[in-house]
């Protein structure tokens, strides 16, 4: 079972068998440090992911396993690094071998070109207010895209998932 918490205090049950993966890019996120303080008293099975800050200090002092991310980037741009670390950490079925880093780099290079379809789409939506609608099974994708547009592109955007759109959003629109 995998539980994601973004709280000051653990709400999930944590015991000595729980693997606590604690992540803060800056290492100084208030909620993350508070959560770590409380959860680390319940398990010693901890893996930290950060670029530095107070979290890295605590992980080192308490001799916890950790991975140091490269610093100096906008936090959202470091997602690829974090996902690679998580896949490696949780890879019990050899899925990491299927990850083709060269292919990912090729896609990145291709879609960064000014004549790419992605670049063209970005230019089209740049001065608009994107409304992102996702079905329930993909409900985590909408907020992620919204966050990228808001933070990285400085574009206000809106997200809603079905069936919420049908039940309440349509009335507002």
Strand order in the sheet with 20-24: 20-24, 46-50, 65-68
Q: What is the pLDDT of residue 170?
A: 67
Q: What is the pLDDT of residues 110-133, one digit of tens each?
A: 877 888 888 888 889 989 999 888
Kindly report, residue by residue over 131-147, the tens digit of the pLDDT: 888 887 777 888 888 98
- pTM of full prediction above 0.85: no
Question: Mind listing the pLDDT tens digit for each residue in 53-93?
Answer: 999 999 999 999 999 998 888 787 788 888 888 888 877 66
52 has a pLDDT exceeding 90: yes
User: What is residue 75's predicted lDDT score, i.e. its pLDDT?
Assistant: 80
Question: What distance in Å separates the CA atoms of residue 109 and residue 116, rounded to the nearest whole number?
Answer: 10
Q: CA torsion sign, 31 to 32 to 37 to 41?
A: positive
In the chain, % helix, strand, coil (3-state, to 5) comes to 50, 15, 40
């Amino acid at each position: 079972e995998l539980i994601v918490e973004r709280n000051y205090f653990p709400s999930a049950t944590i015991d000595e068998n729980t693997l606590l993966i604690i992540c803060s890019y800056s290492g100084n996120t208030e909620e993350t440090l508070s959560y770590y303080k409380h959860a680390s008293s319940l398990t010693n099975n901890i893996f930290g992911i950060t670029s530095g800050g107070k979290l890295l200090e605590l992980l080192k002092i308490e001799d916890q396993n950790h991975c140091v991310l490269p610093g100096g980037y906008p936090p959202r741009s470091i997602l690829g690094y974090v996902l690679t670390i998580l896949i490696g950490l949780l890879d019990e079925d050899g899925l990491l071998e299927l990850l083709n880093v060269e292919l990912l780099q090729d896609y990145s290079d291709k879609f960064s070109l000014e004549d790419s379809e992605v670049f063209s789409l970005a230019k089209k939506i740049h001065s608009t207010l994107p409304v992102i609608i996702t079905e329930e099974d993909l409900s985590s994708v909408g907020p992620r895209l919204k966050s990228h547009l808001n933070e990285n592109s400085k574009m206000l955007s809106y997200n809603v998932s079905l069936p919420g759109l049908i039940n309440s959003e349509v009335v507002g629109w």
